[in-house]
Amino acid sequence: MVLSVAMAGCREAAAPFPKETGCIVQRVADGDTITVSGCMESRVRLLLVDAPEVAQGGGEAECYGVESQAYLRSRLPVGTIVQLERGVRDRDRFDRALRYV
């Protein structure tokens, strides 16, 4: 009885989005944004990462923005091959692809 009640709320899981493989890191813009080529030519906003911004367009960097960028560069240096997986939304308001790495 308990099992049937528990299963009543279950639905068939939606098929996951296909993974994008063979993506090559071309640039690390800041602590949560990279540019890739190979699988797509795009700026990619890393999902589940929220890093301070670095100075852009004449503005000032947020505290630890430069350090977060340096850390991501150490983890994903230019030329690194990564696999990306789409989240629920495809793009953000800045037209960056939203992906898990």
| Per-residue model confidence as pLDDT tens digits over 42-90 | 999 999 999 998 987 778 888 999 999 999 999 999 999 999 999 999 9
23 in any annotated domain: yes
CATH number for the domain harbouring residue 42: 2.40.50.90
The confidence band for 7, taking pLDDT boundaries of 50, 70 and 90, is low
Tokens describing residue 89: 């939304």
Tokens describing residue 88: 């629920």
**Confidence (pTM):** 0.79
3 in any annotated domain: no
72 in any annotated domain: yes
Share of the chain above pLDDT 90, in %: 66
Q: What is the pLDDT of residue 15?
A: 61
Cα Dmax for the chain? 64
Instruction: Indicate the number of domains in the chain.
Output: 1
5 in any annotated domain: no
Q: What is the DSSP string of 39-99?
A: S--EEEEETT---PPPP-TTPPPPTTHHHHHHHHHHHS-TT-EEEEEEEEEEE-TT--EEE
Torsion region of 22: left, alpha or beta (phi above 0 gives left; psi -120 to 50 gives alpha): left
89 in any annotated domain: yes
85 in any annotated domain: yes
Name the residue range of residue 31's domain.
17-100
